[in-house]
């Protein structure tokens, strides 16, 4: 090959790729999703700001369901296993995923965690994502649906400030409704208007984890979701490329 | 921020393509980033500059094609660009200019009232605008 006079036999060619950058994550997510569908487990990606009340809502849901459904949880955080401990104490078998510095969970982290949690026989598996309204929206985990917790204390403009998160929400839980009397100029109707601007399919349930208000509606929503989710038979199972079988 | 993990995935993807085509070098990397993808283009560019050193992308500039959001009505099929005032009917595709700023997607999306079809009030779905795609490469091959 000759570079100096241009007679070299290399050339620059355009190569169309048209592949999603997160294709590897998507494949792992599809793998997770297939596992869940085979076992009839409804998996929920629960997201929201730090302090929005994700863990509290799950604790409250567990109390409300009172054993009528088997729950499981994976709780993601940069540090501590506090959420998993609280959920465990609330009767939900839980595993912590400590991400270190990652601001979101991804399909690989969920897949790894599934090896250590007895999830196969649960009815509802909650993946409590890292508290963050930005990054978690980008990564498919293999969940059936996205539920976003938004506390009434967070501000009416949060949906339009974080459109990617809210446009991807199948359901928004408006949490801490018991604090509404203390907030001037804020109403549920205004939160709903704000959400309607960014959610193509608007669905929101006001809830209060401490009193249990709204948890019946949340439980009913989850049941309807379970009923609508196809369960695949093992014959349709995906190909395993693991060294270990499961 | 997650832009770093996206760049890592991107570089891995480019390496796979280099192998597949037995390329000698990468001369440019073209990506499409939708305005509602959750990826901030300037952060992506910064992360790319950091991570490309000592990789196949070391001398390949990143070209970003931004894709505006287009909402399509599930009932009547009409489409609506989120930047309705700027592009009444079609998908706006623009190359991001260095130093220029474009309005945050939220400012356009939220300002226009409920997210429904302008014509029939039907439910809309996002037809374009959440892409994080490696579109094409310029590869040096034998």
Does A164 contact B134 at a Cβ distance shorter than 8 Å?
Answer: no
B87 pLDDT more than 90 = no
pLDDT at A6: 56
DSSP assignment of A131-189: SBSSGGGG---S-SEEEEEEETTS-TTHHHHSHHHHHT-SEEEEE-GGGGGGSTT--HH
CB atoms within 10 A of CB A89: 11
pLDDT at A109: 97
Rounded Cα distance between B129 and B131, Å, is 6
A226-246 tens-digit pLDDT = 999 888 876 555 555 565 544
DSSP reduced 3-state for B112: coil
- Beta-carbon contacts of A4 under 8 Å, excluding residues fewer than 6 positions away, are none
Structure tokens at A211: 């009193």
pLDDT at B75: 94
- Beta-carbon contacts of A240 under 8 Å, excluding residues fewer than 6 positions away, are none
Average pLDDT over all residues of chain B: 83
Average pLDDT over residues B36-56: 96
pLDDT at B111: 52
Q: Is the dihedral of CA A229, A232, A236, A240 positive or negative?
A: positive
Q: What's the Rg (C-alpha) of chain B?
A: 18
Note if the pTM is more than 0.90.
Answer: no
Weakest mean pLDDT among A15-29, A129-143, B60-74, B83-97: B83-97
DSSP assignment of A8-37: -S-EEEEEEEEEETTHHHHHHHHHHHHHHH
Query: Strands A124-128 and A71-77: what pairing?
Result: parallel
Q: Write out chain A residues lying below 8 Å of B56, CB-based.
A: none
Burial (CB count within 10 angstroms: exposed 0-12, middle 13-18, buried 19+), residue A131: buried
Q: Is the dihedral of CA A180, A221, A43, A31 positive or negative?
A: negative
Average pLDDT over residues A65-75: 97
Average pLDDT over all residues of chain A: 92
Query: Strands B132-141 and B25-34: what pairing?
Result: antiparallel
B103 pLDDT more than 90 = no
Query: Does the interface ipTM go beyond 0.90?
Result: no
Confidence of residue B89 (pLDDT cuts 50, 70, 90): very low
Confidence of residue A73 (pLDDT cuts 50, 70, 90): very high
A94 pLDDT more than 50 = yes
**Is B71 near chain A, with CB under 8 Å?**
yes
Structure tokens at A28: 């792992």
Q: Write out chain B residues lying below 8 Å of A146, CB-based.
A: none
pLDDT at A240: 56
Confidence of residue B80 (pLDDT cuts 50, 70, 90): confident
A113-142 tens-digit pLDDT = 999 999 999 999 999 999 999 999 999 999
Does B134 contact A19 at a Cβ distance shorter than 8 Å?
Answer: yes
B133 to chain A: nearest residue by CA? A20
Count how many pairs of residues, chain A against chain B, have C-beta atoms within 8 Å. 123
Rounded Cα distance between A62 and A92, Å, is 7
**Is B31 near chain A, with CB under 8 Å?**
yes
Which residues of A, range 205-234, sit inside 8 Å of B by Cβ?
none
CB atoms within 10 A of CB A115: 11
A194 to chain B: nearest residue by CA? B110
pLDDT at A60: 98
A92 pLDDT more than 90 = yes
Q: Write out chain B residues lying below 8 Å of A20, CB-based.
A: 131-134
């Amino acid at each position: 090959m000759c570079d100096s006079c241009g007679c070299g036999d290399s050339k620059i060619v355009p190569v169309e790729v048209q592949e999603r950058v997160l294709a590897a994550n998507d494949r792992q997510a599809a793998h997770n999703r297939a596992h869940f569908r085979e076992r009839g487990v409804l998996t929920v990606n629960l997201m929201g700001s730090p302090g929005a009340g994700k863990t509290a809502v799950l604790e409250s849901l567990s109390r409300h369901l009172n054993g009528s459904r088997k729950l499981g949880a994976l709780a993601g955080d940069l540090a501590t296993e506090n959420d998993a401990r609280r959920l465990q104490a609330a009767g939900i078998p839980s595993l912590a995923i400590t991400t270190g510095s990652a601001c979101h969970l991804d399909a690989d982290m969920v897949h790894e965690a599934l090896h250590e949690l007895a999830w196969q026989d649960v009815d509802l598996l909650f993946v409590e994502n890292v508290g963050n309204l930005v990054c978690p929206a980008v990564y498919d985990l293999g969940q059936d649906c996205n539920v976003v917790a938004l506390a009434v204390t967070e501000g009416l403009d949060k949906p339009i400030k974080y459109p990617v998160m809210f446009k991807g929400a199948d359901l928004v839980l408006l949490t801490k409704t018991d604090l509404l009397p203390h907030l001037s100029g804020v109403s549920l109707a205004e939160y709903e208007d704000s959400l309607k601007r960014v959610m193509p399919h608007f669905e929101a349930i006001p809830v209060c984890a401490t009193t249990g208000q709204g948890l019946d509606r949340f439980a009913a929503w989850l049941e309807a979701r379970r009923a609508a989710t196809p369960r695949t038979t093992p014959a349709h199972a995906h190909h395993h490329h693991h060294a270990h079988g499961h | 921020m997650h832009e770093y993990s996206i760049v890592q995935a991107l570089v891995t993807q480019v390496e796979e393509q280099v192998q597949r085509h037995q390329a000698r070098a990468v001369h440019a990397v073209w990506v499409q980033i939708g305005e509602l993808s959750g990826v901030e283009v300037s952060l992506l560019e910064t992360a790319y500059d950091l991570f490309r050193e000592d990789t196949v992308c070391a001398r390949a500039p990143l070209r970003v094609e931004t894709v505006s959001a287009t909402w399509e009505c599930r009932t009547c099929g009409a489409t609506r660009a989120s930047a309705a005032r700027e592009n009444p009917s079609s998908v706006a595709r623009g190359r991001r200019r260095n130093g220029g700023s474009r309005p945050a997607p939220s400012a356009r999306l939220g300002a226009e009232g409920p997210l429904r079809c302008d014509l029939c009030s039907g439910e809309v779905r996002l037809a374009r605008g959440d892409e994080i795609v490696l579109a094409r490469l310029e590869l040096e091959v034998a």
